Amino acid sequence: MTNAQARRRRRRRLGRLLPLLALVVVFVVGVAVGEALHDNPRPGGGQTIVRTLKPLALLPTATTNHTTTTSTP
């Protein structure tokens, strides 16, 4: 085996292993970020308050009677 053939073989191996290694690194980083977010949730959070509102009393309206008288021709 010549020196050039050995270099080509290493390049092929590296070419096959590099994408796999990149995938593993991305997976590990994703797991680490997910764990960090899970361990440290936002402080305070939200609070839900439920209230039942009663209708207000309506003010009385002014009552006036209007009578209209018309004459028939």
pLDDT in tens, 16-26: 889 899 999 99
Tokens of 44: 């305070």
Confidence of residue 29 (pLDDT cuts 50, 70, 90): very high
Q: What's the pTM?
A: 0.44
pLDDT of residue 41: 67
What is the percent of the chain where pLDDT is above 90?
27
| Residues in the chain, overall count | 73
- Which of 28, 24, 45 lies closest to 36 in space, CA to CA? 28
pLDDT of residue 23: 95
